[in-house]
Structure 1
């Protein structure tokens, strides 16, 4: 006898339609229904518990996936930020300009110092020439 998809709530006519190969005896029908009921009683609670656990795990997995995805997007945004790249390029350019200006200022400062020394020497010479020489 072939029985497939037997539900405990199926009527005798429905079982007869499913198994059209041979006539169904009422004792066989009752036995099949009792077996189906027993199997359902044994496996239904653990399956329901497993289903609940699977739903919880799926929800947690989705939450973790969403967190990882948002973090990845945030990191990509930081790495691909054109404004940040432009600012970093400006920093390098400004550093070069600052170094150039600093060197120029040092050169000007040295030149000013040497001109001050020269001016002091010229002033001494001018003072010494402007003072009358004592005649002996």
Structure 2
């Protein structure tokens, strides 16, 4: 990838190659200096900017590493704290109790629903029996009325 500066320097160097050696060395030295300066002019500012960005990135990385170390230290201290360990075990015990109570409540709820359905069925059966009994009683009363109630008309 050649730039305008690099091409100009190369154009200056080429005609001097055919001349005599001492002048050629001086001209090549000047041309080399110009070529180096041209390359530096082209690449120096982006490289300097990259260097600055990398330095900034490294500073931020170091800051993050320090923060992470502090957080890890705090977490380690918290995990080793006797009160926290005791509290975690208490939480586990109460969580197990809660799960057991929930399971019991669910079981009781299911049994209650079954009992309600059974009670409803029994109530319906009782009502049917009472209705049948009432109908039977009415029929007996009607029969008795039929047997008793017919006077002889002559």
TM-score calculated relative to the size of structure 1? 0.46
User: Relative to total residues, which structure has the larger helix share, 1 or 2?
Assistant: 2
Rg: which structure is higher? 2
The TM-score normalised by the length of structure 2 is 0.42
